[in-house]
Amino acid sequence: MRRRVAAGVVAAACLSALSGCVSLPETGPVVEVEESRGSSTDTGGAAAIDARPPQEGQSAAEVVKGFLDAMQAWPTELATAKQFLASEIRSTWSPAGTIVYEDALPPSGGAARVEVRLGGASRLDARGAWQGELAAEDSILGFRLVTEDGEYRIADLPAALVVPETWFEQRYRRVALYFPDPSGSVLVPEPVFVGDDPTFASSLVSGLLRGPGRGLQGVLSTQLPSDLRVDLSVPVTDGLAAISLTGEASAFSPADTDLLFAQLAWTLRQDPDVDAFTLEIDGRPVRTAGGETRIPVAVGDRLDPVGFQTDSLLHGLRDGLLVSGTPGSLDPVGGVMGRVDLGVRSVAVDLLGTRVVAVSEAGGTVLLAPLTDGEGDALLEDPSADPGLADVSTAAVGTDLLPPAWDVHDRLWLLDRTSSGAVVSWVQGDRSGVLEVPGITGAEVRDFLVSRDGTRLVAVVRGPRSDTVRVARIRSDGREQVVGASRSRALRLDDDPSRRIRDVAWTSTTTLAVLNRLTDVSAKVVTVGVDGSPGGLGGIITTLSGATALVGSPAAGTRVYAVTDTGLADLNATVRGPRVLDEGLTFVTYAG
């Protein structure tokens, strides 16, 4: 999934019409005309493909090729592909995941065994979660064949859907499955890729039923019992998704029911055809406390992973004062930091826009103050006598602190660059602690982020020859107490654009923008998923000059900016016009 994503450089010129920047395979199954969304054979906008069944007299290699071609049927159906299988496995074979490849050599081998060598192959699990690139030895797929009624049939094969990258990119969407954190106070998005066909809603619900997985214990929970299954499918009629589950499930408390509905609502709202849903378990409807069975997908907004009703303004430092607003219109805030230069180099505003922390110019002190104190913008003859100074306190001390981060649990996250390397810590009211993060703690860290839901920590780690972006998961308990972190893992960036990274910023709850240094005067921005999946054609891929930092937010509708020597450059703009100037601006960020 690398080379095709590199084509996003070309696609950047047509971000407003990405659907036109695709191509169809020149060989393979028969391609039919595209049908519009909403028809009875809705294909999600991609061309429909009819699979071709086995043909008489095919060689063993031709049977394997026919099987691989038949897996590209669209809308998805495996009945034709299974005709290439031996009778003993035809009814039991089921893909347990997906393999996506850039290119493949023609099937080769003898009558009993055929191999297919894949290039640039990656694997997704049964939910559609990206698992990374296949090792070279795993990119050789083996097929054992037998003879039935004089024809070759496949008797042993990988338990995966195997499709080319061009096909996959046209037909699968990057979406998220939503799971509550252990406290049940926020929903956390787990990125997956799901086929955009009539089974879209079914795939989303089935993904939720598979749960977050054992590797995320302490990070996520779920309200859906693991032994429940979708009964056939999730039909959508006139905007209503009818979810019918089978299996054992104990009674839900009112609070659990609300969380269950929110988990389903946030996941299903990604389907534009779904406005509401109903839920039955073993034929019994699940109701709200008020007895309602029709649940709008808009419920559960208070569990928003970016924070409910959070601040969406830009905040920064200009001439030493804290300013807030929109690009080109950043004004001093009403609190003391908007009136008095306290000698700070970076700031972080909490998600509700009520408090701000600031790191001192020397990097050893974190100051905490209200964002506004009702004093307005009144000028004082003696700024040192400002009454608001009484509200400024020291939140933390360190050696060389990076810009802090806030999460929805009102936790303040800090990373101190000490002589022994990075030290990660957190402060929440009168509680605080140090978090050991394998792969990040003790390393030389250039930048760090924490997701607003409080479950992901991202760090740019300096290496002797190159930098890496590493992501770790944060574990907590039901009282929002931090209890540990997973070992961080490095993300591979598209195109390997640089050995040095200048900055990293959120572009959504599940994607990051990375600013790579190309030369002293030029840099390149690429997008990568927090799971390590490529940013895709919908991501930002651009080269620009004079860029020193990024400003981004996971909140929908916010813009991503590059901080340049002439101001802020809007990276979401299809055609980048004059940069927005904010003279004297030395630091800028969103809340969080």
Whether 29 and 48 have beta carbons less than 8 Å apart is answered as no
Say what the pLDDT of residue 382 is.
Answer: 55
Cβ-based neighbour number of residue 45 at 10 Å:
16
Q: Which among 269, 365, 279, 351 is positioned nearest to 315, based on CA atoms?
A: 351
285-299, 446-460, 491-505, range with the lowest pLDDT:
491-505
Question: 16-20, 59-63, 257-261, 505-509: lowest mean pLDDT where?
Answer: 16-20
Rounded CA-CA distance 143/528 in Å is: 34
Q: Name the nearest CA neighbour of 522 among 496, 497, 547.
A: 547
Helices (H), 225-369: 254-268
Report the alpha-carbon distance of residue 110 to residue 528 in Å, rounded: 41
List, as one string, the DSSP characters of 26-68. SSSSEEPPP--TTSTT--TTSPPEEPPPP-TT--HHHHHHHHH
pLDDT for residue 427: 97
Closest CA to 163 of 49, 48, 23, 68: 68
Mean pLDDT estimate for the chain: 88
Higher pLDDT: 569 or 377? It is: 569
Look-up of token digits 């920590």 = 457
Q: Which residue has the tokens 């946030």?
A: 266
CA 115 to chain CA centroid, Å, is: 34
Start-to-end C-alpha separation, the chain: 32
Cα dihedral: 158, 163, 169, 174 (round 10) = -20
Count Cα neighbours of 460 within 13 Å in the Cβ-side half-sphere: 21
User: Which of 510, 455, 81 has the alpha carbon at shortest distance from 266?
Assistant: 510
pLDDT of 176: 97
Residue 432 is predicted with a pLDDT of 96
The pLDDT of residue 518 is above 90: no
Length reported for the chain: 592
Residue type, 124: L
State the Cα–Cα distance between residues 145 and 147, nearest whole angstrom: 7
User: Exposed (0-12), middle (13-18) or buried (19+): which is 536, by Cβ within 10 Å?
Assistant: buried
Q: Band the pLDDT of 43: cuts 50, 70, 90.
A: low
The answer to whether residues 10 and 23 touch, using CB atoms and an 8 Å cutoff, is no
Query: What tens digit of pLDDT does each residue of 67-95 get?
Result: 999 999 999 999 999 999 999 999 999 99
258: phi then psi, degrees, rounded to nearest 5: -60, -40
pLDDT at 374 over 70: no
Q: What is the pLDDT of residue 67?
A: 98
Q: Residue 539: pLDDT band by 50, 70, 90 thresholds?
A: low
**Confidence (pLDDT) at 575:** 66
397 with 410: CB under 8 angstroms? no
CA–CA distance, 449 with 487 (Å, rounded to integer): 16
371-375, 378-382, 551-555 — which one is most confidently predicted on average?
551-555
92 by DSSP, 3-state: which? coil
Please report the DSSP string for 402-445 in residue order. Answer: PP-EE-TT--EEEEEEETTEEEEEEEETTEEEEE--TTTTTS-E
Closest CA to 80 of 88, 95, 68, 98: 68
CA distance 337 to 128: 47
Q: Give the separation between CA 527 and CA 504, rounded to whole angstroms.
A: 10
DSSP 8-state class, residue 357: E
* Helix residue ranges, H only, 279-390: none
Per-residue confidence band for 384, with pLDDT thresholds at 50, 70 and 90: low
Spatial contact of 587 and 315, defined as CB atoms under 8 Å apart: no
What pLDDT is recorded for position 15? 27
Give 27's contacts (C-beta < 8 A, 6+ positions apart).
none
List CB contacts of 1: < 8 A, sequence separation 6 or more: 100, 102, 120, 122, 133, 165, 533, 534
Cα separation, 194 vs 349, in Å, equals 35
Considering the entire predicted model, what is its pTM? 0.88
Two structure tokens written together for 177: 């499955």
Per-residue pLDDT, 541: 72
State both tokens at 485: 């972190």
Query: Helix, strand, or coil here: 317?
Result: strand
Give the single-character DSSP code of 556.
T
Q: What mean pLDDT do residues 416-420 have?
A: 98
Task: Sort 371 into a burial class: Cβ within 10 Å, 0-12 / 13-18 / 19+.
Answer: buried
CA neighbours closer than 13 Å in the CB half-sphere of residue 11 = 22
* Mean pLDDT, residues 431-453 taken together: 97
What number is the average pLDDT over the span 395-399?
96
Reply yes or no on whether the pLDDT at 558 is more than 90: yes
pLDDT in tens, 310-335: 999 999 999 999 999 998 899 999 99
Q: Residue 303 to residues 221, 259, 286, 306: CA-CA distances in angstroms?
A: 14, 9, 20, 9
What DSSP assignment string belongs to 541-587? -EEEESEEEEE--SSTT---EEEETTEEEETT-SS--SPBP-TTEEE
Contact 401, 359 (CB under 8 A): yes
Which residues neighbour 12 within 8 Å (Cβ) at sequence distance 6 or greater?
Answer: 540, 541, 542
Please report the pLDDT score of residue 458 as a whole number.
98
Task: Measure the CA–CA gap between 147 and 45, rounded to whole angstroms.
Answer: 39
**Please, which pLDDT band fits residue 5 given cuts at 50, 70 and 90?**
very low
**Tokens at 125, concatenated:** 């699990």
Q: Other C-beta atoms within 10 Å of 456: how many?
A: 23
pLDDT at position 225 is 85
